[in-house]
Amino acid sequence: MSTPFPFTAVVGQDDLRLALLLNAVSPAVGGVLVRGEKGTAKSTAVRALSALMPEVDVVAGCRFSCAPAAPDPACPDGPHEVGPGVQRPARMVELPVGASEDRLVGALDIERALAEGVKAFEPGLLADAHRGILYVDEVNLLHDHLVDLLLDAAAMGASYVEREGVSVRHAARFLLVGTMNPEEGELRPQLLDRFGLTVEVAASREPDQRVEVVRRRLAYDDDPDGFAGRWADKETAVRARIVAARKLLPSVVLGDGPLRQIAATCAAFEVDGMRADIVMARTATTLAAWAGRTEVLAEDVRQAALLALPHRRRRNPFDAPGLDEDKLDETLEEFGGGDGSNGSGGSDSSDGSDDSGDEDPDPDGPDGGGGQPPQEGPDGGNDDGSGESSGEVPAQGEPSESGQAPSPGAGEQAPVRAAEPFRTKVLSVPGLGEGAAGRRSRARTEHGRTTGARRPQGALTKLHLAATVQAAAPHQRARGRSGPGLVVRRDDLRQATREGREGNLVLFVVDASGSMAARQRMSAVKGAVLSLLLDAYQRRDKVGLVTFRGSTGEVALPPTSSVDAAAVRLESLPTGGRTPLAAGLLRAHDVLRVERLRDPARRALVVLVTDGRATGGPEPVALAGRAARLFAADGVASVVVDCESGPVRLGLAGQLAGELGGTAVTLDELRADSIAGLVRDVQGNSRRAA
């Protein structure tokens, strides 16, 4: 195993290092979710932490890492006698995105269990991670049912495997760390809430810090052992501090004052449930132990709030993460516990950022090779550097402050804000798919209701007991069985087929031409698309955005799991010009063709948002009809959101839906509470579903 990059040599990322250290002291904090862009030392810091973890005593030969002083009475390898054990380093186990449920929780040999009555169990990654670190890179890309299993085990401290009446239970207490890039899609809010702490990381914008990052990385790559040796003293000091904080933790007192501040803070930020209060209390207590104190102060409560609340207060996937620190300080001051701390100023003296040896670099301290630790000193400060600029766009045709009407460009009109989103009726793809797990359309899945049985293809995972018995029963006399009991052979085993829900590719094709440019109408259209994006987020879909206006269609957003990115593109969408409907449809058809090559199992749903008009070029209506029939020929499910308004309607969107082989709905019918609405799924091309 290669020498890991030293934890104390990581430059910056104060919140990330602090959150990891707090969980190393007390896994009861609940783990860390690290959100950030690529190349921000997320994985490096997690792997470096494993080298800081104190060694653990284990029962010799136990595959489940039982503690020799208090072995698990239900250990599958037990029972174990209380006595001396052996020491080994704490493990860091990585869970790959493509892991199966069997790989995560372990697998029972069902054939031996049925034929021989032997409970043979092969431990999974949860058993390997017991009393260590379980690291999930790109946790947002992990299947939801695996995330559920993972978080349930982390919350209960045990893993349960039950199949066909055979059950195994073993201890599974570990430090859970997940990393993700928000651009690749979000976790569901209920899963976000299960992570104790969260931190946002970003690359520093300070040239000196960036220089030091490069210097240290190059020095490590040239001589990993030599580089690690130069940081060994600081690593040893932090390891000793973790051990000391663990011993001190049971003695830390959480007084009524800080506890009241915790409750008031959670109430002020309107978090759901009581998990936030509990996590904040555990985090504040651990912060005090990390600082070497036996009493929780307001500064501990403040730091705990900054780590435990940002991911819990979000109500909308398009809201910016973070916490209003002014509001936090006001709440802490109002409900101050009289401990002498004003709760403001964000003192970091208690978080160990200047004691654990993980300071920001002093550019003059290390040598040119980046191999020497910097001199002791304060951190260089937050490198967040985030900032936003916002301004109101004048209404279409209205004068700006200079007194002249805006002119964004020839044939182009200024973007308008989206109307308030609403809950939409469910749109789904007909038939039965086999795509990635989600919540939109029917599909054959590993989880869901049992619909039948088949011969296993590969390893047997979900036994269909009745079908297995039915297959074995006719052969009992030939197998020498005349009395009670059943002889089951491998050929008799039947795999259960299950039906659940899949996520789809929802491709929005939005008309941004001049016929849609009436300010009120475009605002309503954007509000409808935003509502559908929210629905796609909740149903675990991929989304893409194609727009058309002027003379061409444009891919505003290639298919992605990040609905946030789609919402941003939608908000800045300009309008104006002619309506090249055929060009927009052809561009969408190309996008789907490429996506079928990348992910053949994921079915598509095209949502065309238009009033149905086609202008520009020779025979625009006929061209649009021919382009629409390409979708029908490919069997692509589609729905046309009819944006036509006014007392006289031409019904062009309905005709276009017929060419697509889909259905048309109005903006009003799209609402979940609409009486007229969508009582039906997308029924276009129902013959293909059969």
Residue-range domain boundaries for the chain: 7-207, 444-501, 504-689
User: Would you say 191 and 314 are in contact if contact means Cβ atoms under 8 Å apart?
Assistant: no
User: Would you say 607 and 509 are in contact if contact means Cβ atoms under 8 Å apart?
Assistant: yes
User: Would you say 307 and 15 are in contact if contact means Cβ atoms under 8 Å apart?
Assistant: yes
pLDDT above 90 covers a percentage of the chain that reads 26
593 is catalytic: no
Alpha-carbon span 304 to 308, nearest angstrom: 6
Tokens of 294: 């036996």
* Phi and psi, residue 399, nearest 5°: -75, 150
Fold for 7-207, please state it: Rossmann fold (3.40.50)
CA 47 to centroid of chain Cα atoms: 20
Long-range contacts of 341-348 (CB under 8 A, 24+ apart): 341/297, 341/298, 341/299, 342/298, 343/261, 343/298, 343/299, 343/301, 343/302, 344/302, 346/299, 346/302, 346/303, 346/306, 347/299, 348/14, 348/303, 348/379
Neighbours of 197 (CB within 10 A): 29
Long-range contacts of 651-659 (CB under 8 A, 24+ apart): 651/612, 652/611, 652/612, 652/613, 653/610, 653/611, 653/612, 654/612, 655/612, 656/581, 656/608, 656/610, 656/612, 656/624, 656/625, 656/628, 657/684, 659/624, 659/625, 659/628, 659/629, 659/632
Residue 680 confidence (pLDDT) above 70:
no
pLDDT-derived band at 665, boundaries 50, 70, 90: very high
For residues 620 and 140, which has the higher predicted lDDT (pLDDT)? 620
Same fold, 7-207 and 504-689: yes
Alpha-carbon span 451 to 57, nearest angstrom: 47
Neighbours of 266 (CB within 10 A): 25
pLDDT at 361: 39
Alpha-carbon span 470 to 457, nearest angstrom: 19
The string of pLDDT tens digits covering residues 523-539 is 888 888 988 888 888 78
pLDDT-derived band at 607, boundaries 50, 70, 90: very high
CA 631 to centroid of chain Cα atoms: 32
The string of pLDDT tens digits covering residues 13-61 is 888 999 999 999 998 898 899 888 777 778 888 888 888 888 888 988 8
- Active-site position among 169, 217, 246, 275: 275
The string of pLDDT tens digits covering residues 639-664 is 999 988 767 678 889 999 999 999 99
Residue 681 confidence (pLDDT) above 50:
no
Superfamily of domain 504-689: von Willebrand factor, type A domain (3.40.50.410)
* Phi and psi, residue 167, nearest 5°: -130, 145
Q: What average pLDDT does the structure give for the chain?
A: 80
Alpha-carbon span 62 to 68, nearest angstrom: 10
* Phi and psi, residue 347, nearest 5°: -55, 130
